[in-house]
Amino acid sequence: MNTFPTHAATPKPPYYAVIFTSLKSEEPEGYNDTSERMLELVHQQEGFLGFESFRNEHGFGVTISYWRSLEEIKKWKQNDPHLWAQEQGKKRWYKSYKVRICKVEHDYSFDSE
Amino acid sequence: MNTFPTHAATPKPPYYAVIFTSLKSEEPEGYNDTSERMLELVHQQEGFLGFESFRNEHGFGVTISYWRSLEEIKKWKQNDPHLWAQEQGKKRWYKSYKVRICKVEHDYSFDSE
């Protein structure tokens, strides 16, 4: 049994994925606190299904969040504390980012156990 | 300027993304060589647009590859050396994996420079 998070437990497709790649600034002041707070908040959002997140030694990372619908993705984008965090992201935390909104049409998996 | 790969340079949507999350075995013999070879081969595939790849300290990782069409994703899935690699993946390299086939419907980005 794993004690760390692995594959997000998503339902049968179709559902949606937001692929957020980002390159962090060298000194992203306040990033960790806000990041934790956003994670708490997103878990309370209607339609949020789960996420997977990675960052490499160069400060480049990806967070993939999964959603039930496009409307619920939009509501999270317009959430007040999240709007503030998005502004901070542009001003302080990220050199660059890219957001891709995707419809998951098909999935399959393998488990050796 | 970055000397390491960051955001894949994808065209205007729509295009496709394959989100491959995997949990590696403790001793994945032959994994690195095959992984490098697959990376060479996939770059020669028609319709391959780019990729982003990450793995954390627990052996859990994600590779997102971007494609022009579903047909071209299928062709890569059926590529002979890749079929062999997929078999090895199940036998030796991965404890578990999940593949999500997605249509990228919309994207946007930010660059501070």
Complex confidence, ipTM: 0.95
Element (H, E) at B50: strand B48-55
CB-based contact B19:A51 (threshold 8 Å)? no
Taking an 8 Å cut-off on Cβ atoms, the answer to whether A99 and B105 are in contact is no
Instruction: Give yes or no for B74 touching A (CB within 8 A).
Output: no
Question: In terms of CA atoms, which chain B residue is nearest residue A4?
Answer: B58
pTM of the model: 0.96
- pLDDT per residue as tens digits for the range A10-34: 999 999 999 999 999 998 899 999 9
Query: What pLDDT is attached to residue A110?
Result: 97
Spatial CA neighbour of B21 closest among A70, A17, A45? A17
Disruptive mutation site among B18, B54, B63, B66 for chain A (greatest number of A CBs within 10 Å): B54
